[in-house]
């Protein structure tokens, strides 16, 4: 049976730790990317659904729903809306 010296064992353990760390990083990165893609898709679907139910109008106030007044964001720019 062959015995490894302390330096060889140190190098092997360091390489194994680096490979394991890289594997964990890659898996977590892929998981995070997939979650972000679904979140963007979900928010986009919410926006389309809102526009379909509100005659293609953006909400007049993003902070307080149904408060009236405020500003309306259109494709042409920002338009003031009277209450």
Predicted confidence at residue 74, as pLDDT, reads: 53
Summarize the confidence of residues 14-38 as an average pLDDT: 95
Mean pLDDT for all residues in the chain: 79
Is 30 contained in some domain? yes
C-alpha span between 41 and 35 (Å, rounded) = 10
Q: Read off the pLDDT of residues 57-73 as tens digits, 9 standing for 90 and up.
A: 877 666 555 555 555 55
Domain count within the chain: 1
Q: How far is CA 57 from the centre of its chain?
A: 25
Is 1 contained in some domain? no
Is 13 contained in some domain? yes
Beta strands in the chain (DSSP E): 71-74, 77-80
Q: What is the pTM of this model?
A: 0.51
């Amino acid at each position: 049976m062959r015995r490894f010296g302390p330096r060889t064992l140190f190098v092997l353990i360091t390489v194994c730790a680096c490979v394991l760390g890289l594997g964990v990083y890659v898996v977590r990165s892929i998981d995070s990317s997939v979650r972000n893609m679904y979140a963007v898709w979900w928010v986009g679907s919410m926006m389309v659904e809102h526009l379909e139910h509100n005659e293609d109008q953006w909400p007049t106030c993003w902070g307080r729903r149904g408060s009236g007044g405020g500003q309306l964001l259109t494709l042409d720019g920002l338009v003031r809306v009277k209450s």
